[in-house]
């Protein structure tokens, strides 16, 4: 091989080695839902993702507004440290590890599975609930989903009794985690339906 000013040319009779293919995600990988050619399936899965995404967005707006109000009211140095810790911890554990890596891939996959087997108006209306495994799921999935709803509700009641600014500190962390989850949900859905 001859090298001329940073450019490699193969020597006669010796082919140029090709670099390995980049390590890109495979759309056929189990983490990505199977692509559907049916517009109906994509539309119904999109409805499920949209409904769940709107619930996330409403919570982000409500909690984020409270967090901003807490910051505007002024924080002590210890409260600033707690705010930074809350955002980091919630974003890592709830946002990245729980939502981005576990909940969102399973939810988008279930959205397509639910869409493929839904029929009628009732199927369209209940698709988001079935995507969340709150209806029409195995006993184990139903118990896990409803237990999650109960624990989230309990956490909401516990955080409501916290005095300000600590409630705003927790709300900032939760809203940052939900924002990461919402972005992950939208990206994963659009990756699943891209041509």
The pLDDT tens digits along the chain (195 residues) read 444 444 455 555 555 555 554 444 444 444 444 554 588 888 899 999 999 999 999 999 999 999 999 999 988 999 999 999 999 999 999 999 988 999 999 999 999 988 888 888 888 898 999 998 888 888 998 999 999 899 989 988 998 898 889 999 999 999 999 999 999 999 999 998 887
Report whether 129 contacts 141 (CB < 8 A). no
For 166, phi then psi, to 5°, come to -65, -35
157 burial (CB, 10 Å; 0-12 / 13-18 / 19+) is exposed
Q: What is the pLDDT of residue 63?
A: 92
Report whether 188 contacts 104 (CB < 8 A). yes
Q: Is 24 left (phi over 0), alpha (psi -120 to 50) or beta?
A: beta
Distance from C-alpha of 60 to C-alpha of 171, rounded to nearest angstrom: 9
Domain ranges of the chain: 37-193
Report whether 184 contacts 94 (CB < 8 A). no
DSSP of 75-132, one letter per residue?
Answer: --HHHHHHHHHHHHHIIIIIIIIIIIIIIHHHHHHHHHHHHHH--HHHHHHHHHHHHT
**Structure tokens that stand for 184 in this block:** 């992950």
Do the bridges between strand 7-9 and strand 2-4 make them parallel or antiparallel, or are there none, so unpaired? antiparallel
pTM (global) more than 0.95: no
Q: What is the pLDDT of residue 19?
A: 53
What number of other Cβ atoms are within 10 A of residue 31's Cβ? 16
CA dist 161 → 42, 113, 158, 184 (Å): 42, 40, 6, 31
């Amino acid at each position: 091989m001859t090298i001329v000013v940073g450019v490699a040319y193969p020597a006669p009779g010796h082919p140029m080695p090709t670099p390995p293919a980049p390590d890109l995600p495979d759309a056929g990988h189990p983490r990505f839902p199977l692509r559907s050619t049916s517009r109906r399936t994509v539309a119904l899965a999109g409805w499920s993702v949209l409904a769940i995404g709107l619930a996330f967005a409403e919570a982000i707006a409500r909690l984020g507004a409270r967090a901003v109000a807490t910051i505007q009211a002024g924080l002590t140095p210890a409260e600033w440290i707690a705010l930074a810790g809350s955002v980091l911890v919630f974003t890592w554990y709830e946002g990245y590890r729980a939502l981005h890596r576990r909940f969102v891939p399973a939810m988008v996959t279930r959205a397509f599975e639910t869409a493929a087997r839904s029929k009628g108006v009732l199927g369209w209306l209940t698709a988001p609930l079935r995507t969340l495994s709150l209806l029409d799921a195995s006993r184990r999935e139903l118990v896990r989903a409803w237990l999650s709803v109960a624990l989230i509700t309990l956490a909401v009641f516990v955080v409501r009794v916290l005095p300000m600014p600590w409630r705003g500190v927790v709300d900032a962390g939760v809203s940052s985690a939900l924002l990461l989850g919402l972005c992950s949900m939208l990206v994963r859905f659009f990756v699943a339906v891209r041509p």
